Amino acid sequence: MAKQNRVGVSIRRTAGEVKRYRRWTRLLPMAAGIAVLILIIGYVLSVLYMKFGAFTVMVNKFDHNEYALTLSESPDFDSFTSRLNAEIAETVTNIDGATLPDWLDNVDGEHNGDNYVAYTFYCINAGSKTVTYNYNLYIANMTYEIEKAARVRVYVNGDMTDYAYPRTDGVEGPEPGTVAFQSGNTIINKTVEHFKPGDITKFTIVIWLEGNDPDCVDKIIGGEFKIDMAVSVIADEETGSRISNS
């Protein structure tokens, strides 16, 4: 009789294990399906989108107030700063640059649209000297050769220029309707002379991926593109001397 009881216990345990096994056999395909779905969604997102990083503008600082360039998002300069950081990280896809609105230089601060980044700011000579200053717009980060399909539109006091990576199809010169990036990671590096105390320069930077560019292909999918600007006083025009903040 005792022997029969032990057999019964053994049978009940085996039935419980079989039940758990059957439960797992139902759950595992569901879990695998969910994992595959997540991977597919991640792949689709990487196929459809690229990313632009935040845009940072910086001016060099001096220990004295004779050379004092300052920045603001407002032409009234309600506040002064040596650094502007536009939180303009955007998930974007390519567009036709011809569809961009024509009022991009008429709105202050951040004014991003669908699949483009736009930022307007001002630089004022708040010092006591007439100076020459330099502004250097450069690529701070790029992946997957996304820069080859990027466009950077720069307004300086209302004058607009589109910049692009040089052509890669064997034809010398810039992409149609653009000026080629100056060199390497440098988009533009220019100087402004006779910048008197109280003078203001207005900048608007617009960034997008040009869908009509031959380099706007699958290999740039998931790429990232970030540009920054450095603004520096380089000469005192009243004394004729070159200066630095070192």
For residues 44 and 104, state if they share a domain.
Answer: no
Are 28 and 115 part of one and the same domain? no
Residues 29 and 84 in one domain: no
Asked if residue 148 has pLDDT above 70, the reply is: yes
Mean pLDDT rounded to a whole number for the chain: 79
Domain limits for position 212: 50-242
Contact 232, 134 (CB under 8 A): yes
Tell me: do 9 and 120 sit in the same domain: no
pLDDT cut 70: percent of the chain above it:
72
d(CA 168, CA 148) in angstroms, rounded, equals 8
Specify the pTM.
0.76
Top pLDDT among 109 and 28 is at: 109
* Whether residues 81 and 126 fall in one domain: yes
120 with 154, same domain?
Answer: yes
Q: Which two tokens stand for residue 26?
A: 């139902």
In this structure, of 2-16, 165-179, 221-235, the range with the lowest mean pLDDT score is 2-16
Phi-psi region of 115 (alpha: psi -120 to 50; beta: other; left: phi over 0): left
